[in-house]
Amino acid sequence: MILNFEKCCSLIEEHLSRLEIGNRTPAGLYKPIDYVMAGGGKHIRPALTLMACNLFSDDVEKAIMPAIAYEIFHNFTLLHDDLMDNADVRRNRPTVHKRWNNNTAILSGDAMMIMACRYMCSAQSPELLDIFTRTALEVCEGQQYDMDFEQQTDVTIDQYLYMIRLKTAVMLAACLKAGAICGGANSANCEAIYRFGIALGLTFQIQDDWLDVYADPDVFGKALGGDILSRKKTFLLLTALEKADEKTYKEINGLLYDEKIAADEKINGIKTIYDRLGVSDAARQTMDKYYLQAMSHLDEVVVPDNLRKAELKQLAARLLNREK
């Protein structure tokens, strides 16, 4: 039986509904967690876990607990990211620290991390737990680099790519590798699908950077230009700074750091410079490069039926062209 992305998402939704997090007490801890988990996420990470398992086995139930663990962990990172970024909106709704308060966001996030560990432990696999904990630590390292970059003026594109490898790509790769392990894949296949996940994750994050500036705000689910207002070192900003002449370089920094400039004027001004420098095209070309790398690594995975890989290829193409 070959499972597509939609079927995997349905399985994840079914299992998440059984958790009944919102009925647990104390409500002040669990209601925010339920709010986050019911926020309409795309379930990409747990679906990748199930799809990777399905490459090698029809029994995807073996991968459910690791998939749920990664979904809870991913949403925990979003909750704490929103707090650190002081973001107002996530998935068209107020963020947890805005609807409740900062302390609630911290404590409920901590509880989510512990819940994710418990679900991963329930798989009773030291290898899966090792991958999970290593990945969780790498995500924290990536987040720290991201915060460090906010205070640095000499960040390179290579440094940025290393940061997003840790912050974003390793989790997609770990989800895929966990699923492959659950499906009984050999070590060569596990490593190839991990590399597929890394390249896919780099594509995914650069697309995120692009969407923050160029997405349809009604589809995107949050206000555009948040990265610009917070002066985040994104692929777009670093590419612009690399391409800029001295005058344009000063213009970019003037817009970013002048607190007297209104938010809309700042966002539109930076976007105009991006357009002038061809930053959007550069981002799309880099996404295409990593997407082709991802497909090459997926081709290295040896499975009994290549039709099963077709579903992953279709999902990767959808991620490359997503609108939110």
Secondary structure (DSSP) of 228-285: HHTT---HHHHHHHHH--HHHHHHHHHHHH-TTS-HHHHHHHHHHHHHHHTHHHHHHH
Alpha helices in the chain (DSSP H): 5-17, 27-37, 44-56, 64-85, 96-99, 102-121, 126-150, 157-164, 170-182, 187-214, 217-220, 226-229, 235-243, 246-257, 263-277, 279-300, 307-320
2-30: average pLDDT: 93
Q: Which residue has the tokens 């070959």?
A: 2
> Distance between terminal CA atoms of the chain?
30
Domains, the chain: 5-320 (1.10.600.10)
Per-residue pLDDT at 221: 64
- pLDDT tens digits, one per residue of 202-214: 999 999 999 999 9
> pLDDT tens digits for 54-95?
999 999 999 999 999 999 999 999 999 999 988 888 888 999
Is a pLDDT exceeding 80 seen at residue 3? Answer: yes
Peptide bond into 26 cis (omega under 30): yes
Percent of the chain clearing pLDDT 70 (strictly above)? 99
Cβ contacts of 70 within 8 Å, gap of 6 or more: 45, 46, 49, 116, 132, 171, 174, 175, 178
Question: How does pLDDT run across 211-269, given as a tens digit for each residue?
Answer: 999 998 877 766 789 899 989 999 999 999 999 999 999 999 999 999 999 999 999 99
What would the mean pLDDT of 297-321 be, rounded to a whole number?
Answer: 91
Q: What is the pLDDT of residues 88-111, one digit of tens each?
A: 888 889 999 999 999 999 999 999
